[in-house]
Each structure stands twice: as C-alpha cells, then as structure tokens.
C-alpha cells in the first residue's frame, strides 16, 4: 500500500476545501493507496470532524505548545482534534519561516510524544544536486534529525528535491530509487517500528505512472496537483 499525501498548502479557501473533501469522501479509492489530506489549519479541524472516513494531516505545528504564542499552531490543538499525521520540515516552511534540521528534530520528538505520525521532508537544492552531493546533504540532514539513542514509532520520510518543487522537473526514477534506498540503508541502525519513504516534487498526472514504477517507494507527497480532481481520479477504484 502506498501513501498519497494531498498537501493543499494555501491553494484552497474554507469553502473550496470543504467541497474537495466532500468529493474525496464519496470516492472509492483503490485499496493499493492510502490517501491523507493536509488542508490549511483553518479548515483542518472542521474537515476532520465532518469527514470521518478520511485521514487528515496538519501542514505544520510550532515548538511551543500552550501559552502566549500568537498566530502559532500548538501540537495540543492537533492532538485534541484527533489528527493522526503532521508534516514537518517542508521545504516551503524551511524557506519562508527559517525552519532548519535542528527544529525538525525537536518537532519530531514532540510529534512522537503526542502519538502523531510525522511526515518529515528532506532534500537538496539545485546546486547541491548539480555537484552530485545529494547523498552527503541528506546524510547531514538525517544525522541532525534522528537520534540513535531514541526509539521511533511509525515515521514517513518524504524526499523532496527543492529544485523539483513547482518546477515541473523531476529526478529520474533511478535517482529517486537510489535516494530512497540510501535513506533506508543509512537509518538501518536506528530503531523504527515502521519507516516509509515517499517522494515529493512536481508529482502530477503526467509523471505519476512513471514514478509509480519505482521499487521500494512507499508513496508520494503531492502539492498543487492534489487539488485537481483529474489527478485525484488516478487513485479511483
């Protein structure tokens, strides 16, 4: 079974999010896929309460929890609404909010202590890719994010090359496979109950079939294409 994370980012308002969630809730998904919807925080609680047959993820949360932290999203709010997943370290959060791997590591611990499955994003920029240093970059990220002294429950890691996001460009299947295998091999000495590797970066209807042929890949993190019914219908029974 492959995870399909529909990351709606800030593309949809509340009304549009509700309408698309209703479409998803009525759809019969192919049992080979496990869809998870990540709407905006404004819509998250309402959709999770309304559409019981769908799984939802938060797009992010803060480090601070309950207290005087205006505009932030506490992990307590996500937990209290029985949200099962949360995206951590997405490239856009790193870019616009200055989130780094040390923060991702802290958020990972917070998520696991709250019984929320983390979807952790790692990946390289275009210059790193061109210099053939993708593996060393991701190795550095994983070294900071994970701790060999800890035991982890289910963790999803999304490899999202920054240069592919929103560009229409994607690595070759062989490149994605090598990185997925590299991540699993690097983390073999860490303790996980479940470890899943996803790919994210300009996944759409045109390249989905090609990307789906990649062995040992456990699913996809999908951005702008995930708000399109034509893309969603690829997973219909």
- Residue 90 bears catalytic tag: yes
Q: Catalytic residue, from 16, 46, 90, 99: name it.
A: 90
Burial class, 31, CB count within 10 angstroms (exposed 0-12 / middle 13-18 / buried 19+): exposed
- Residue 137 bears catalytic tag: no
Q: Catalytic residue, from 16, 92, 160, 175: name it.
A: 160
Count of beta carbons in the 10 Å neighbourhood of residue 111: 25
The Cα 20–Cα 26 span in angstroms is 10
The Cα 169–Cα 227 span in angstroms is 19
Of 103, 195, 114, the C-alpha closest to 158 is 195
What stretch of H or E contains 208?
A: helix 208-211
Q: What angle do CA 210, 215, 219 make, to 5 degrees?
A: 70
Distance between alpha carbon 200 and the CA centroid of its chain, in Å?
Answer: 8
* Residues labelled catalytic: 90, 160
């Amino acid at each position: 079974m492959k995870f399909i994370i529909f990351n709606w980012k800030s593309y949809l308002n509340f009304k549009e999010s509700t309408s698309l969630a209703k479409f998803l809730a009525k759809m019969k998904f192919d049992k080979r896929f496990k869809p998870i919807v990540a709407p905006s925080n404004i819509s998250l609680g309402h959709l999770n309460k309304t559409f019981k047959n769908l799984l939802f993820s938060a797009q992010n949360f803060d480090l601070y929890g309950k207290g005087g932290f205006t505009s932030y999203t506490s992990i307590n709010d996500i937990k209290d609404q029985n949200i099962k997943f949360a995206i951590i370290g997405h490239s856009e959060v790193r870019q616009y909010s200055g989130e780094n791997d040390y923060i991702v590591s802290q958020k990972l611990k917070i998520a696991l202590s709250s019984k929320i499955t983390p979807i952790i994003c790692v990946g390289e920029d275009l210059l790193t890719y061109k210099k053939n240093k993708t593996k060393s970059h991701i190795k550095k990220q994983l070294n900071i994010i994970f701790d060999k002294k800890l035991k982890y429950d289910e963790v999803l890691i999304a490899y999202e090359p920054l240069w592919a996001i929103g560009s229409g460009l994607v690595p070759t299947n062989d490149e994605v496979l090598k990185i997925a295998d590299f991540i699993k091999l690097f983390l073999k000495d860490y303790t996980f109950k479940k470890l899943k590797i996803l790919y994210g970066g300009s996944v759409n209807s045109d390249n989905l079939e090609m990307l789906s042929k990649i062995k040992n890949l456990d699913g996809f993190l999908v951005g702008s294409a995930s708000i399109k019914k034509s893309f969603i219908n690829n997973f219909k029974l």
